[in-house]
Amino acid sequence: NNTFFDFSGESGADLLEKSRVTYQLKAERDYHIFYQILSQKKPELLAFLRKNFTFTCIYSDADKVAYLMGLNSADLIKCLCHPRVKVGNEWVTKGQNVQQVNYSIGALSKSVYEKMFLWMVVRINQSLDTKQPRQYFIGVLDIAGFEIFDFNTFEQLCINFTNEKLQQFFNHHMFVLEQEEYKKEGIEWTFIDFGMDLQACIDLIEKPMGIMSILEEECMFPKASDATFKAKLYDNHLGKSNNFQKPRVVKGKPEAHFALMHYAGTVDYNINNWLVKNKDPLNETVVGLYQKSNLKLLSFLFLNYAGSESGKNKLNLMTNLRSTHPHFVRCIIPNETKTPGAMENPLVMHQLRCNGVLEGIRICRKGFPNRILYGDFKQRYRILNPAAIPEGTFIDSKKGAEKLLGSLDIDHNQYKFGHTKVFFKAGLLGQLEEMRDERLSLIITGIQARARGLLARMEFQKIVERRSK
């Protein structure tokens, strides 16, 4: 799940991984809470869970579930097997086959999980709420990593699309805005094109007649199917977009219908049931039943039922990110077998390369990654040589910074003066901080010595006075 703290200090969630409630890919774990619940149980229970079973739903199970949900079991079965749907201005009862009922049960389970999770987020925010103004904030965004499995479906596309957007944000911030600031500040610099623009892939997914747009369009047609969706994708993008490809057939691997060239690699996607997943499969009959649940919390959660707002959340998230001064922590997978202490060097290098880390290091070494406003620099580092900026004399902040840096014993090729800021090569600002710490240490040590001397003299004076009496 993508969790974050927004500009007001409130936690939030985007791309909640609801699919894991009902299905996990091979070698993929369930939620951590699931294993924590089982941690004190018998080992044979875990062995039982590893087996494959075909369960037959009997009415006693429905009674148990309905009891836990505060519902009538007969009403629950009726809503799932024979829901009422609106056709024009009339309501009709629709019969569902086994597969459709299973989809409805899965959708219901995922919806209850999602609403409980988001309700907990709201409660956490209420407990942390403060009425104080929030002009400044430190935001934290934790996102799911890029996913490339043997079998990739709709959930992987959503996660990978979010990663594509955030990687584009990283690239733009690291390589475009960084160089634009040099130009704006008058720093001599030759623009470098790192070839890491991901906009073509992003447009392929989100723009009009992109993958998501075609999916939404197909969901509006009653007779649309996975086959018609695939045909539209091929008609609009195959041979027209370099990022859209026809996947190769690999013996022993799951079927794939199209491939996308993401920044982290080419991913083959299977589109089975995408239309069902994209629609809101909870019909109004089921929602109405849950709104009448005897459990106050459950009825409250479904009171104002609405579909997914992931698109809106993503837009708000990107808007918040663009208004900040971001710092990035890149997490690297050491191996694909989840083995502790094992390092697969080619895998690590591939991640560093496609994530832009190596290019980021390159621009930091060639450029000026640290910068500080002249006024702030003069105020913080004047202590290194107070004589360079005499007390009581007015001096322009830029001139003061130039005089101060010129008087220090440092490499003077490691910094540049811009219009409003002084720019430093990697390492120089850290060197200045060490010099400042040493200077402060000398000053504080001198103050402490004088204070101890004063206290010692006062104590000595008291001893002399006592002896004279």
What is the tens place of the pLDDT at every residue in 10-23?
Answer: 666 666 777 778 87
**Using CA atoms, how far apart are residues 423 and 179, in angstroms rounded to an integer?**
12
State the virtual CA torsion across 304, 306, 312, 317 in degrees, nearest 10.
60
Residue 223: the pLDDT is 85
**Mean pLDDT, the chain, whole residue set:** 85
Give CA separation, 47 vs 23, 28, 42, in Å: 18, 16, 9
Determine, yes or no, domain membership for 398. Answer: yes
Residue 420: which CATH number?
Answer: 1.20.5.4820
Domain range enclosing 450 = 371-468
Which comes out higher in pLDDT, residue 44 or 265? 265
Number of domains in the chain: 1
Determine, yes or no, domain membership for 445. Answer: yes
Mean pLDDT of 211-225: 89
- pLDDT band per the 50, 70, 90 thresholds, residue 407: very high
Determine, yes or no, domain membership for 392. Answer: yes
Mean pLDDT of 403-414: 94
Most trustworthy range by pLDDT among 54-63, 318-327, 377-386: 377-386
**Using CA atoms, how far apart are residues 132 and 138, in angstroms rounded to an integer?**
15
Residue 235: the pLDDT is 95
Residue 309 has pLDDT above 60, yes or no: no
**Using CA atoms, how far apart are residues 384 and 407, in angstroms rounded to an integer?**
9
3-state secondary structure at position 391? coil
Determine, yes or no, domain membership for 461. Answer: yes
DSSP strand E in 49-101: where? 84-87, 90-93
| CB-neighbour burial class of residue 10 (10 A; exposed 0-12, middle 13-18, buried 19+) | middle
How distant is the alpha carbon of residue 122 from its chain centre?
Answer: 19
Residue 360: the pLDDT is 87
Most trustworthy range by pLDDT among 166-175, 325-334, 430-439: 430-439
pTM: 0.75
**Using CA atoms, how far apart are residues 73 and 96, in angstroms rounded to an integer?**
18
Determine, yes or no, domain membership for 423. Answer: yes
Per cent of the chain over pLDDT 70 is 88
Determine, yes or no, domain membership for 254. Answer: no
Q: Tell me the HSE value of 371 on the side-chain side, using a 13 A CA sphere.
A: 19
Determine, yes or no, domain membership for 42. Answer: no
Element (H, E) at 304: none
Residue 356: the pLDDT is 87
Compute how many other C-beta atoms are within 10 angstroms of the C-beta atom of residue 214. 19
The DSSP bridge partners found for residue 260 are: 244, 267
Q: Which of 207, 205, 323, 198 has the alpha carbon at shortest distance from 265? A: 198
Residue 194 has pLDDT above 90, yes or no: no
Determine, yes or no, domain membership for 462. Answer: yes
